[in-house]
Chain A
Amino acid sequence: MSDHHAGEPLVSIKSVSRRFGDVQALEQVSLEIRQGEFFALLGPSGCGKTTLLRILAGFEHPDSGSVTLDGNDLLAVPPHRRPVNLMFQSYALFPHMSVEKNIAYGLERDRVPKREIRERVDAVLATVGLTGLARRRPHQLSGGQRQRVALARAIVKRPRLLLLDEPLSALDKKVRAEMQLELKRLQHEVGITFVVVTHDQEEAMSLADRIAVMSEGRVRQVDAPVPLYERPADLFVADFIGANNLVTGVVTTEGLRVPDVGLLPCPAAPDAVGATATLAVRPERVRLGADGVLVGVVRDVTFFGGTTRVAVDVTGLDRPLLATVAGAAAVGVGDKTRVDWSGSDAVLLDRT
């Protein structure tokens, strides 16, 4: 094993900003990526995640801030000398070279002996499950196979850091699920730190150990998938990750007071009493039919097989409350129902 230990910071990004004309692509971004982890940069398009990835690869330079890898300044190193490899969204396979030539390209640049190149190419082809396709040209491969070649080409150099730009976006749904598992297995097997850029929150949640949620050039929250889902730090994260019921009101000692609606259950927040805040509660935490505090009319029932989503119109709220129940719903459209949740299942956000 190497002298690097899992959990130690590998990459340290400090106050990085980048501006393109009128657009602030990155604004004072600071992040730490740990040795050996699977890290995701998640956000809607235009949030700056790709710019950050390109800064790590060396194709873009920040206006200010610093980036270190293993404690050394990364920004001073040109892209071809960085121990960092990038898997491009388009895969960027060289069309005039065979699969094995594509994979060997980076090793040849490092002047690795011919014999060792052959061994390492064979080994990586076996790792990604492409043994036997070494002599094919990229245009003779399927989308999933091309992606495996791109992955093999990026990991064969054993980089300290592997960057993946929207790795699954070009694949159809079935292959995507397969590759998702494959990526996780591979990351485990090769022990390289992965940073994946994606706009797909489910992809990020299922792949990554930790996720940085970005919006408008800023990092909103960095957390593991479960805390990110259960304890979003702000309104953007609460709304972007999964479905959420959001209600704004004034915090009191008994709950959240919402005009025309009443008192809603919310976690105790003695220091926030009197402040305006937004309450976020996940649909699967919302209970129907019990002796709930709210009364509403069922507007819509959607059956997904394992679960059912029920939308309930509550007088005074501009959006219907969503509730997810296991199995089929006991209520139908037009039924009156009571709604509530336990205060500890909700989160108070953006207190002012």
Chain B
Amino acid sequence: MRRFSWLYVPAGLTYLFLYLPIVVLVVMSFNAADTPYRWDGFDTAWYGRLFADRAIREGLINTLVVAAGATALSTVLGTLLAVGLARHTRSKLLDAIAVAPAVLPDIVLAIGLLAFYTAVQFTLGLHSILLAHTVFGTAFVAAVVRTRLAHVDGSLEEASRDLGATAAHTFVRITLPSLAPGIIAGALLAFSLSIDEFVIAFFTAGPQDPTLPIVIYSMVRFGVTPEINALATLLLAVSFTFVIAAQRLSRLTESL
């Protein structure tokens, strides 16, 4: 058996600090009582109530539409951007600008997008959120694919050309497959970031179609209900799955 080290204590406390609120949330979502001050026993009734709630159901559908659309767009744009940057420019500045939306404060992006939509008199709705999410999604995909590109031997494409393939054929048969793990990881990241994004969605949403995070926000203004706990627990499960899948894929990337 390994000897106990006192260094495990601060490590354990740090993990506790990070995950205690989440554990409380998950536990409370199974609480039969409707207040967090009391434990009335294990119950999954709140999950049932959740699926019966029309506002939440519609919010969920809106969120999935936005996330799917934004992921599709940003995966294509981000991949092309990364390949273009790697192959056709040596500018560090262009590189930095391409990934900047990923690290800019959400509020800056949100205000900027709203100002822009107003200036061009763009009607707000699901499509405006979708485009807004595509902005940072593209930056994330570009960043992940760019990292992958750095690991790929550039002479692969030349070898393909040398063996008689056209530039287009080379892109489809050689470039895309060697980037695939990065592209998929980028897409998963863009999707999981989009489904729980609140600030930008809040600013760029129309009055009719709120996404799930906006629905939750309007509900908690009147106090956190166990229903919300159940919803948050489900979102947590989905996010975790995606993040772990993305990480697995990028690890697979390195072994290739």
- A residues 79-135 near B (Cβ < 8 Å) are 79-81, 84-86, 88-90, 92-96, 105-106, 109-110
B165 contacts which of A58, A80, A93 (Cβ < 8 Å)?
Answer: A80
Q: Is the CB of B160 within 8 A of A105?
A: yes
Q: Is the CB of B165 within 8 A of A109?
A: yes
**Interface: A139 (CB within 8 A):** yes
Q: Is the CB of B161 within 8 A of A80?
A: yes
Residue interface mask A134-166, B partner, CB < 8 A = 1? 000001000000000000010001000000000
- B residues 136-169 near A (Cβ < 8 Å) are 153, 155-156, 158-166, 169
In the complex, what distance in Å separates the CA atom of A307 from the CA atom of B161? 49
**Interface: A59 (CB within 8 A):** yes
Q: Is the CB of B153 within 8 A of A90?
A: yes
Q: Name the B residues within 8 Å of A57 (CB-CB).
A: 158, 162
In the complex, what distance in Å separates the CA atom of A85 from the CA atom of B166? 15
Q: Is the CB of B162 within 8 A of A90?
A: no
A79 and B178 in contact, given A92-B153, A92-B156, A109-B169 (Cβ under 8 angstroms): no
In the complex, what distance in Å separates the CA atom of A81 from the CA atom of B161? 9
**Interface: B1 (CB within 8 A):** no
With both beta carbons as reference points, the residue of chain A lying nearest to B166 in the complex is identified as A80
Q: Name the B residues within 8 Å of A157 (CB-CB).
A: 163-164
Residue interface mask A35-70, B partner, CB < 8 A = 1? 000000000000000000000011100000000000
Q: Count the B residues whose beta carbon is within 8 Å of the partner chain — how many?
A: 17
Q: Name the A residues within 8 Å of B97 (CB-CB).
A: none
With both beta carbons as reference points, the residue of chain B lying nearest to A150 in the complex is identified as B159
A94 and B164 in contact, given A59-B158, A88-B159 (Cβ under 8 angstroms): no
A96 contacts which of B158, B160, B162, B178 (Cβ < 8 Å)?
Answer: B178
Q: Is the CB of B155 within 8 A of A92?
A: yes
**Nearest chain A CB to B174's CB is how many angstroms away?**
6
**Nearest chain A CB to B113's CB is how many angstroms away?**
38
Q: Name the A residues within 8 Å of B177 (CB-CB).
A: 96
In the complex, what distance in Å separates the CA atom of A58 from the CA atom of B167? 13
Q: Is the CB of B163 within 8 A of A105?
A: yes
**Interface: B256 (CB within 8 A):** yes
**Nearest chain B CB to A213's CB is how many angstroms away?**
26
Residue interface mask B169-207, A partner, CB < 8 A = 1? 100001001100000000000000000000000000000
A79 and B159 in contact, given A94-B174, A96-B177 (Cβ under 8 angstroms): no
Q: Is the CB of B155 within 8 A of A106?
A: no
In the complex, what distance in Å separates the CA atom of A330 from the CA atom of B169? 68
In the complex, what distance in Å separates the CA atom of A93 from the CA atom of B160? 9
Q: Is the CB of B166 within 8 A of A92?
A: no
In the complex, what distance in Å separates the CA atom of A62 from the CA atom of B158? 18
A106 and B163 in contact, given A88-B158, A96-B177 (Cβ under 8 angstroms): yes
In the complex, what distance in Å separates the CA atom of A270 from the CA atom of B159? 55
Q: Name the A residues within 8 Å of B169 (CB-CB).
A: 109
In the complex, what distance in Å separates the CA atom of A153 from the CA atom of B163? 8
Q: Is the CB of B163 within 8 A of A88?
A: no
With both beta carbons as reference points, the residue of chain B lying nearest to A153 in the complex is identified as B163
Q: Name the A residues within 8 Å of B162 (CB-CB).
A: 57-58, 79-80, 84-86
Q: Name the B residues within 8 Å of A84 (CB-CB).
A: 162
A110 and B158 in contact, given A95-B178, A96-B177, A139-B256 (Cβ under 8 angstroms): no
With both beta carbons as reference points, the residue of chain A lying nearest to B167 in the complex is identified as A80
Residue interface mask A157-185, B partner, CB < 8 A = 1? 10000000000000000000000000000
Q: Name the B residues within 8 Å of A106 (CB-CB).
A: 163-164
Residue interface mask B90-106, A partner, CB < 8 A = 1? 00000000000000000
Which of A81, A86, A139 has the most chain B CB atoms inside 10 A of its CB?
A: A86
**Nearest chain A CB to B168's CB is how many angstroms away?**
11
Q: Name the B residues within 8 Å of A89 (CB-CB).
A: 155
Ranked nearest first, the 4 interchain pairs of A and B with the lowest CB-CB distance are A106-B163, A109-B164, A92-B159, A92-B155
Name A residues whose Cβ lies closer than 8 Å to a Cβ of B: 57-59, 79-81, 84-86, 88-90, 92-96, 105-106, 109-110, 139, 153, 157
Besides the known contacts A57-B158, A86-B162, A93-B159, 17 further A-B residue pairs in the complex with CB atoms under 8 A apart: A59-B158, A59-B161, A80-B162, A80-B165, A81-B164, A85-B162, A86-B158, A88-B155, A88-B159, A90-B155, A92-B155, A92-B156, A92-B159, A96-B177, A105-B165, A110-B164, A157-B164
Instruction: List, sorted by A's number, 16 A–B pairs whose CB atoms are closer than 8 Å.
Output: A59-B161, A80-B165, A84-B162, A85-B162, A86-B162, A88-B158, A89-B155, A90-B153, A92-B153, A94-B156, A95-B256, A106-B164, A110-B164, A139-B256, A153-B163, A157-B164
